[in-house]
Structure 1
Amino acid sequence: MKRKLTYGGEDQELSDSDSRTPAIHYGNKLFEPIHFLRCHSKKNDPADVQTQVWQCAFEPDMNSPGHNTNLVATCGGNSVCLIDAVTGGVVKKFYSEQSSVLLFSLAWTTMHPGGGRRCNILAVGGSKCYLQLILPSKSCSLLSSTTFLNSIGFNKMKDHISCMGFHPSRRNVLFCGGSSGFIAALDIAQCHPWSDSPEPKLPQLLLSVFTHSEVFSLSFSKNANILLSGCNSGLFGWVMDEIKWEKNVQPHQRRLSSIEFELPEMTDEKLAEMDSDDNNLVDSVVCIPESTLVATKCALRGVIYIWDVKATLENSAISYKKSDFKGARLKISPVKYLRWSDTDDYFMAMGCSPDGNLLGCGDDEGGVWLYNLCSNVAEHKAKRAKKNDDDLLLKEPYQRLLWPSSLEDPEVQNARKVKRLEGHGGVIDQVSMCVTQSGSIHLAAVTSTNLVCIWRAFDDEGFQSRDESSD
């Protein structure tokens, strides 16, 4: 049988033990497609393949830190959907205040407003500096004024919030990256309705930094205490060792100098194929949980770099004390090179499992590339020391999820005004993974053709990953 599309106020810092995720062996895991939904359609048009769904993220499990629930949040067009990955049903749907506002980014956090209470908050950002904070359990939200963003360089009419993420320990600190090059850290602890404040308060600006180019991706390394940003002009970072998050410190007193991380040099042949403006474009960066490793994807290079940010900082001769640090350029030395698609398309964001052992990234043909990061990094370092040949380190994905050839899309096929998709679902804009307390594993991906795709993992004892067999 062919599958068919369905339509449809206190200190937030947590201890390391609160967020530890048990490691899972992915070597014998296979994924099967179970749900494909078109739930962000404009005017509920089931044949809408124009609306892009940009990001997805699984809800954290409040009662089991380091795990997820079955709910995945997705944003695209002017709406946010909460989808049950098991049933494939849209549980809740939220819309932007203005239909002209498009939503590009989202991030989850778990707040502790006091009295032993916990609640999950979903932050959503979009065009016109739009910021929305959603409390799904009460189906309510707070729409934020852009006045405080305008004061640090964001332009309401021109700029959009393209990426965001919460501090992994201080769960009330939200980082927002904008198309103008600004990154703002906001305190949402006293925002209504999850706080004890009698009146709703807007997010408070804690600090801001400027990258001089559009920001595409943000990720925070808890173990290295650094914020990393993938930008149009490269990869940048800000060490947070001396940041004082207390409320009586003014934003201008939290000044940081940026570190530019230099990417590995490319061959002359590869450079000849690229536009000079694209040489250093970093469209996705992910700090691997439970480690100091970082996955970095540069547009048009066909490779994902895995490198150690803490080792990079420690091996430099630069002091990062605020009193004498004036900025730096540091070269990264990858410990792994992961082969990825040779596509000339941009903006396909990576996702990582909560335990840090499985990395995924989509391509422009509806496929998802999966990499098993469990293999010994020290072994690859030794190989690199013996043989200075990057090609010998280039690792293939241990599994590729291809677009299901049997998937039917009757609404699109019957709509004369819509060009039929050519054998695949379009560009995979982002991949996200969840591990529930019961041990079930799901993978979600969102596409440029208005689709939310969900896969489920199952055990195959006879399966051995290509990555493991090649070590």
Structure 2
Amino acid sequence: MEKITEKILLQKSSPKANKLDQIKTLNLSRMGLKSEDLPVPLLSQLCSLEELDLSGNMLQEIPKGLCLPCLKTLNCSNNEMEDVTSLKALRNIEELRLEDNLYLTVNDEHKVIFLLPRLRMLNGKDISSTAHHIRHGSTEILRKRVIGLWERSFSLPDPVTAQSLAAVEKSFVNAAYSQIKYGPSSLSDYTKFRLEMIAKEYLKSLTCSEEGSEVQDVTPTKEKETPTERKTRDLGGKSITSPQKRTRNNTEVSAEASPRKSSRLASAAPVEASPRKSTRVLSAPQKTDPILSSPRKHARMTSIDTPEGSPRKSSRLESISQKVVSKTESPRKVSKKPDISTPTSRPAKRESPMKPAKDQTTAQQSKQTTANTPRKTSRVKLHVPQEPVSLQPFHVLQCHSRQDSPDDFSTQLWACAFEPPQECSGGDIRDGSRTVATCGGETLCVIDCESGHVLKKYKVPGEEFFSLAWSTVLMTRTGGSTRPCNILAAGGKRGLVKLIHPRVNLAFGEFRASRRAISSMRFSPRNASFLFTGTYENKIFLWDIGGLDRDYNFKISKLLVLETCSTPLHVSLLPASPDTHLLSACDDGLYVFDIQLSKNTQKRNEEMEVVFPIYKKNDKKNTYRTIDGLSFLSDDIVASKSHMQGSIYLWSWRATRASWNGRKKEVAAVVLAELQWSSTEIPYLSLGTCPGYGYVVCGDDQGRLWMYHITDTMMENFKSGKTISATEVLEWPSPVRAGMGALKGPSINSIAMDPDLHYLVALTDKNMAVVWKRENH
């Protein structure tokens, strides 16, 4: 405040301005100002001010009450602006700069052009033609559609009261949102902004004879978007020229506008119609417009219906279809709840919590072991809480439905991951995250676990997403400074990696990782721009996407190609040294690769294969070697399973590695413990771990969650040949639909937990994402 006052007084003392109301230019750039730091009363005295420079600060909005009637030029570049509606009071602005405001989108550009009727220069470009279209071009089209909607479906309440009018207005606006479609999906947020204004003004005109005094509108057509918005992308090459960073609400900016995409993907799609179709029943996706939005419809399931004959995973493995059917036909008692988002009772426990003995003070040193003789080995202490946690079902979301249909129970959900700690916001960085990304079918969703709201939804017609991964990369800003931003990578049957910045609702790029489907993805925790992609061509690729510039340009380079003998279902990196080795759980075994870039060889085969005791079982089809669950529980302890196994192995990476002599490819896993699990024969039910709390969790084919609280005492008391029971088995919460029965438990395809175990997310093969929440949190 003192610095601002000093600058203003300095301007006042200049020969051209003896009084505050004579100051015409003011420079307040690079002063570290936040919105609340601006002295509104003092600035409002500058009634002759024509130019104001607020660049390089930390402003999120223009404070309310600021009145500068003569202001014509405003520079708000390189701030943290999130709301442009606050500029409405400065209606005489003719030139405005808003570059390098990370959270502003193309929707905000259109809003500010509409709100400032005299604006002719935006970010140094003449916007006269665009502005005319925005302010006038499509007003009548939207107005006619709004009026038509009113005449078809609405009427004034009788009697007209403030309360009844408010209810009608709310319904009218919501109907306009959902029923009136106009312009490209990249501008849907702006369209909703204008539809709300038109609807409210029209309703007001019906009640007080003022025929829409200020209703002006436009929903721009695709051809009239800002020039930077229409930059094209290289969909399959090594680099992507992407639109500027302004697409915060509601779009994947170029998916429907790129003719090259349709031609490339049309030719690529038939290569792999659906890689998992041979083992799971999948429905053909419907064609809809690509969307990156904030949908909250069809998200929370207050009810669920089970259609007769809905496809199940019984045909995932044709050879065992009859066995699966017999297992799923056994009746179970289901509890009917009015709304799973507010459960009234806790699901029954299938196992009692274990009572571990007292901690032992020393770890046992073991000899090298063979696969059929698991023994204890020296271990790193887990240092996890000794008391198990208690989880309650919190939300059931049906947000991946094709065409947002509430009757879609066939879309299978495959992968989920919690967002890393939030990006900087006013200097604050949260330790944990309650935001989770999920994928399945042609949709990728970003969900707030606490509220159950679907924050963002990204849809690609004809795609089938199998995997996703988060990373925090650096974005270059004006002046050379950088800012961290959380990005999301997702891929599926088309073999394309989609790159998304969910915070600003921008799908900023994509590149082709394979001519066949992508099965798994993982960013390196040490090199945030390194992305591993496992593919159905039996290869794992390491890509470097580099950093991002302010326009989201980036360069792709391929660093490694790892040859696998079968499809890699999961990839894991060593927590302590993620740049040395990679573990790949594949359809026919678990393989270890040397990924050190200091070596010259770009194409590499596995260094060794880890084998397990279960392999000794007779199995003509080798299904015991399908490793469909893999995750590190600590720097040393690995949890893995085969879908035919009926148990989960905990084994030591260090001891296993140390027992390898370097001559043979195979090395027996040094098994530390074996966890009892379901006897299902359904494949691809992956497990999840929470190292900070010592938890391993895996779902089964009946919607149950098998939870294991792994403590040092448990590990030290493990006896070879005996399995450890689950600490707790959480039953399927059996959500119901009004007037319908409870849905039987589906298969749990994927599990994710946040680092503090506040939330657990389970994905099913019946288009349901279930959020569990820790009690007393």
Asked if the contact 1:354–1:434 (Cα under 8 Å) also holds between the matched residues in 2, the reply is no
Relative to 1, partners in 2 of residues 1:83 and 1:45: Cα closer, same or farther, differing over 3 Å?
A: same
| Selected match of 1:60 from 399, 415, 420 | 420
Asked if the contact 1:179–1:214 (Cα under 8 Å) also holds between the matched residues in 2, the reply is yes
Corresponding position: 1:455 with 2:772 = yes
| Deviation (angstroms), 1:201 | 3.2
In the alignment, the residues of structure 2 paired with residue 141 and residue 26 of structure 1 have an alpha-carbon distance, to the nearest angstrom, of 43
In the alignment, the residues of structure 2 paired with residue 403 and residue 277 of structure 1 have an alpha-carbon distance, to the nearest angstrom, of 31
Corresponding position: 1:138 with 2:504 = yes
| Deviation (angstroms), 1:209 | 0.7
Asked if the contact 2:561–2:602 (Cα under 8 Å) also holds between the matched residues in 1, the reply is no
Corresponding position: 1:397 with 2:726 = yes
Q: How does 1:31-430 map to 2 (within 5 A)?
A: 31-62=391-422, 67-96=431-460, 99-113=461-475, 115-146=481-512, 149=513, 154-155=514-515, 159-190=516-547, 195-196=548-549, 200-223=553-576, 225-240=580-595, 242-244=596-598, 252-253=601-602, 255=604, 257-265=606-614, 268=617, 271=618, 274-289=619-634, 291-318=635-662, 328-355=665-692, 357-376=694-713, 379-380=716-717, 384=719, 389-391=720-722, 394-405=723-734, 407-410=735-738, 413=740, 423-424=744-745, 426-430=746-750
| Deviation (angstroms), 1:362 | 0.7
Asked if the contact 1:288–1:356 (Cα under 8 Å) also holds between the matched residues in 2, the reply is no
In the alignment, the residues of structure 1 paired with residue 496 and residue 482 of structure 2 have an alpha-carbon distance, to the nearest angstrom, of 31
| Deviation (angstroms), 1:5 | 5.7
| Deviation (angstroms), 1:46 | 0.4
Code of the residue aligned with 1:457 in structure 2: it is: R
In the alignment, the residues of structure 2 paired with residue 336 and residue 288 of structure 1 have an alpha-carbon distance, to the nearest angstrom, of 13
Higher share in strand: 1
| Deviation (angstroms), 1:28 | 3.7
Code of the residue aligned with 1:286 in structure 2: it is: S
The Cα offsets for residues 392-450 of structure 1, whole Å up to 9 and x where unpaired, read as xx111111111124x21349x4xxxxxx87622x11010100145xxx71100110000
Asked if the contact 2:640–2:648 (Cα under 8 Å) also holds between the matched residues in 1, the reply is yes
| Deviation (angstroms), 1:373 | 1.7
Asked if the contact 1:300–1:342 (Cα under 8 Å) also holds between the matched residues in 2, the reply is yes
| Deviation (angstroms), 1:376 | 3.6
| Deviation (angstroms), 1:288 | 2.2
SS in 2 for 1:100: coil
In the alignment, the residues of structure 1 paired with residue 707 and residue 429 of structure 2 have an alpha-carbon distance, to the nearest angstrom, of 24
The Cα offsets for residues 183-236 of structure 1, whole Å up to 9 and x where unpaired, read as 00111123xxxx127672342211011112111111111225421111111000
The Cα offsets for residues 360-381 of structure 1, whole Å up to 9 and x where unpaired, read as 111100111111122347614x
In the alignment, the residues of structure 1 paired with residue 661 and residue 664 of structure 2 have an alpha-carbon distance, to the nearest angstrom, of 12
Asked if the contact 1:55–1:104 (Cα under 8 Å) also holds between the matched residues in 2, the reply is yes
| Deviation (angstroms), 1:141 | 1.7
Relative to 1, partners in 2 of residues 1:210 and 1:459: Cα closer, same or farther, differing over 3 Å?
A: same
In the alignment, the residues of structure 2 paired with residue 42 and residue 401 of structure 1 have an alpha-carbon distance, to the nearest angstrom, of 29
SS in 2 for 1:423: coil
Relative to 1, partners in 2 of residues 1:35 and 1:58: Cα closer, same or farther, differing over 3 Å?
A: same
Asked if the contact 2:546–2:554 (Cα under 8 Å) also holds between the matched residues in 1, the reply is no
Structure 1 unaligned spans of 5+: 7-21, 319-325, 414-419, 461-471
Task: Report the counterpart of residue 467 of structure 1 in structure 2.
Answer: none
In the alignment, the residues of structure 2 paired with residue 450 and residue 173 of structure 1 have an alpha-carbon distance, to the nearest angstrom, of 31
| Deviation (angstroms), 1:353 | 1.5
| Deviation (angstroms), 1:390 | 1.3
| Deviation (angstroms), 1:458 | 1.6
Higher relative contact order (CA closer than 8 Å, sequence separation 6+): 1
In the alignment, the residues of structure 2 paired with residue 132 and residue 332 of structure 1 have an alpha-carbon distance, to the nearest angstrom, of 36
SS in 2 for 1:69: coil
| Deviation (angstroms), 1:145 | 3.1
Task: Report the counterpart of residue 468 of structure 1 in structure 2.
Answer: none
In the alignment, the residues of structure 2 paired with residue 239 and residue 345 of structure 1 have an alpha-carbon distance, to the nearest angstrom, of 31
In the alignment, the residues of structure 1 paired with residue 400 and residue 611 of structure 2 have an alpha-carbon distance, to the nearest angstrom, of 38
The Cα offsets for residues 213-267 of structure 1, whole Å up to 9 and x where unpaired, read as 1111111112254211111110001133x423xxxx98x5464643111121456
The Cα offsets for residues 65-98 of structure 1, whole Å up to 9 and x where unpaired, read as 99531111000111111111001111111112xx
Relative to 1, partners in 2 of residues 1:220 and 1:441: Cα closer, same or farther, differing over 3 Å?
A: same
Asked if the contact 1:173–1:187 (Cα under 8 Å) also holds between the matched residues in 2, the reply is yes
In the alignment, the residues of structure 1 paired with residue 564 and residue 575 of structure 2 have an alpha-carbon distance, to the nearest angstrom, of 21
* TM-score after normalising by structure 2: 0.48
Asked if the contact 2:615–2:625 (Cα under 8 Å) also holds between the matched residues in 1, the reply is no
| Deviation (angstroms), 1:348 | 0.7
Code of the residue aligned with 1:201 in structure 2: it is: F
Task: Report the counterpart of residue 115 of structure 2 in structure 1.
Answer: none
In the alignment, the residues of structure 2 paired with residue 65 and residue 374 of structure 1 have an alpha-carbon distance, to the nearest angstrom, of 30
The Cα offsets for residues 127-158 of structure 1, whole Å up to 9 and x where unpaired, read as 12021011111111234232xx4xxxx32xxx
Relative to 1, partners in 2 of residues 1:76 and 1:253: Cα closer, same or farther, differing over 3 Å?
A: closer
CA RMSD of aligned residues (A): 2.7
Relative to 1, partners in 2 of residues 1:228 and 1:243: Cα closer, same or farther, differing over 3 Å?
A: same
Q: How does 1:428-443 map to 2 (within 5 A)?
A: 428-435=748-755, 441-443=758-760
Relative to 1, partners in 2 of residues 1:58 and 1:125: Cα closer, same or farther, differing over 3 Å?
A: same
In the alignment, the residues of structure 2 paired with residue 266 and residue 354 of structure 1 have an alpha-carbon distance, to the nearest angstrom, of 27
In the alignment, the residues of structure 1 paired with residue 700 and residue 715 of structure 2 have an alpha-carbon distance, to the nearest angstrom, of 29
| Selected match of 1:4 from 319, 329, 339 | 339
Corresponding position: 1:25 with 2:389 = no
Code of the residue aligned with 1:111 in structure 2: it is: V
* TM-score after normalising by structure 1: 0.77
How many residue pairs are counted as aligned between the two chains? Answer: 392
Code of the residue aligned with 2:737 in structure 1: it is: D
In the alignment, the residues of structure 2 paired with residue 145 and residue 435 of structure 1 have an alpha-carbon distance, to the nearest angstrom, of 30
SS in 2 for 1:335: strand
Asked if the contact 1:29–1:459 (Cα under 8 Å) also holds between the matched residues in 2, the reply is no
Asked if the contact 1:101–1:130 (Cα under 8 Å) also holds between the matched residues in 2, the reply is no
SS in 2 for 1:279: helix
Relative to 1, partners in 2 of residues 1:175 and 1:266: Cα closer, same or farther, differing over 3 Å?
A: closer
The answer to which of 195-204 and 84-93 deviates more is 195-204
Asked if the contact 1:177–1:183 (Cα under 8 Å) also holds between the matched residues in 2, the reply is yes
Code of the residue aligned with 1:107 in structure 2: it is: A
Asked if the contact 1:214–1:232 (Cα under 8 Å) also holds between the matched residues in 2, the reply is yes
Relative to 1, partners in 2 of residues 1:329 and 1:5: Cα closer, same or farther, differing over 3 Å?
A: same
In the alignment, the residues of structure 2 paired with residue 222 and residue 239 of structure 1 have an alpha-carbon distance, to the nearest angstrom, of 15
Asked if the contact 1:264–1:333 (Cα under 8 Å) also holds between the matched residues in 2, the reply is no
Structure 2 unaligned spans of 5+: 1-335, 342-381
